[in-house]
Structure 1
Amino acid sequence: MTAFTRALRRKPARRLTAAGLITAGALFLAACGGDDMSGMDHGSDNSSASATATDQAGDADQAGNFNDADVSFAQMMIPHHEQALKMAKLADGRASDAEIKDLAAQIEKAQDPEITTMKGWLESWKQPTAAESMPGMDHGGHGSGNGNGMMSDADMDELKAMKGTEFDKAFAEMMIEHHNGAITMAKDEQKNGKNPDAKKMADDIIKSQSAEVKQLQSILDRL
């Protein structure tokens, strides 16, 4: 057999070997590419599922993150704030002192949004806005020493009938007692509550209303 014949016989073998390598390489790349794409898709799906699960867990935790003290705080503070708003509205057309007028407007601005917030908490906690019986929330009246600072209907009618300096003095005296009642309730929430938002509001009430009590006392001192 000549060298030329041997060469001819070897060439097909080389072509088959090369073709085999190309085919194997293509299959390898396709497999790798498929794995990468599949991995990317699964990673995206897993991330979305994890985010959703985290959000749901957070919502569930927030919904359950309260205790009886939080519920009582909101249920009792709502009517307490509502009466403060009624007292503040009486200042319009009755108060003569500019500082009393400003303070009444300040009380309305602060407490009205807090009422909305507390009603939202009770709704999210699936609790009634007001309990049928709330110890300590009987309207004992001005100077009754009931601890909650709530005015009786007679007190409110009396304040409504006043004008000028007489109104200013009575408003300051009643609001000091009213604020002190709110501060006591807020301190109880800080001590016994669980919900961080409710405890934060309690802290805000203590700070803001303590400052207003000092301001009201200074007004009384000069009237």
Structure 2
Amino acid sequence: MRKLLILSFLAASCAPPPAAVTPQVPAPPPVATTIAATLDPNPLSTGTLNATDIAWAQLMVPMHEGLLRLLDRAPDRLTDPDLARLAAQVGTAHRAELPALRRILTRAGVTGQNPHEGHDMPGMVTQADLTLITPLTGPAFDRLFIAHLRGHLEQVALVSTAEGKSGTDPAAHTLATTMVKSRTTQLATLNRLTR
């Protein structure tokens, strides 16, 4: 029953998938909106984990994985070496955080299934996004890459701030706090590079 409640909660935080559209020019992802407001401090808990901790980790894992797939396309395509360095730093941080996020889900007894698969969520780089950006090079790639990276960094900072306020697990709280600091710094660097 608890697992059904958590999955229902997660499904409620996602928008339905958009209708299939073939744009002439790829549009940037939507401006980050507040998923954070949907994080529930309800004390459904597994040990020290509550529903917020679990929902946060379930969202962060696919968000990290999606961004890493985008970052893998960046080294040979970004035209600005400073932006390429930032992309590498963001990738290193995300790869280091993924095992800790997965450990939270393991402790919660949550399977590896992604409850957000196919959902159009702020800050989540989807397979459709990757399909649009893959053939691009030069300034067109840079523009779309920057838009996706900015949306991701903003959303992760926002949702992780909410986790820090409503989560109950010390390990999740520490990781969320670290992620907020890291994403805020990365976002400031991105904004400085793209002014």
Would you say 1:199 and 2:136 are equivalent positions? no
Mapped to 1, the partners of 2:95 and 2:80 lie a distance apart of 23
Structure 2: which amino acid aligns with 1:129? G
Count of aligned residue pairs for this structure pair: 150
Would you say 1:186 and 2:157 are equivalent positions? no
- 2:143 corresponds in structure 1 to 169
Give runs of aligned pairs for residues 129-144 of structure 1, distance below 5 A.
129-130=112-113, 133-134=115-116, 139-140=119-120
Cα deviation, 1:81-113, whole Å, max 9, x if unaligned, reads 001111111102111210121111111211112
Q: Larger relative contact order (C-alpha < 8 A, sep ≥ 6)?
A: 2
Cα deviation, 1:8-56, whole Å, max 9, x if unaligned, reads xxxxxxxxxxxxxxxxxxxxxxxxxxxxxxxxxxxxxxxxxxxxxxxxx
Asked if structure 2 preserves the Cα contact closer than 8 Å seen for 1:97 and 1:165, the reply is no
**Equivalent of residue 124 in structure 2, options 144, 150, 158:** 150
Task: Give the % identical residues.
Answer: 26
Structure with the largest fraction of helix: 1
Mapped to 2, the partners of 1:124 and 1:177 lie a distance apart of 29
**Equivalent of residue 98 in structure 1, options 57, 71, 81:** 81
Alignment TM-score, normalising by the size of structure 2: 0.70
Mapped to 2, the partners of 1:159 and 1:103 lie a distance apart of 19
Q: Which runs of 4+ in 1 moved over 3 A?
A: none
Which structure has the larger Rg? 1
Asked if structure 2 preserves the Cα contact closer than 8 Å seen for 1:186 and 1:206, the reply is yes
Q: How far is the alpha carbon of 1:138 from its aligned partner? A: 5.3
Mapped to 2, the partners of 1:109 and 1:128 lie a distance apart of 25
Q: How far is the alpha carbon of 1:190 from its aligned partner? A: 1.0
Asked if structure 2 preserves the Cα contact closer than 8 Å seen for 1:172 and 1:217, the reply is no
Mapped to 2, the partners of 1:83 and 1:94 lie a distance apart of 18
Mapped to 2, the partners of 1:129 and 1:71 lie a distance apart of 12
Mapped to 2, the partners of 1:208 and 1:179 lie a distance apart of 9
**Equivalent of residue 125 in structure 1, options 108, 111, 136:** 108
Change (3 A) 1:118 1:152: closer
**Equivalent of residue 81 in structure 1, options 54, 64, 70:** 64
List runs of 5+ in structure 2 lacking aligned partners: 1-45
Would you say 1:71 and 2:45 are equivalent positions? no
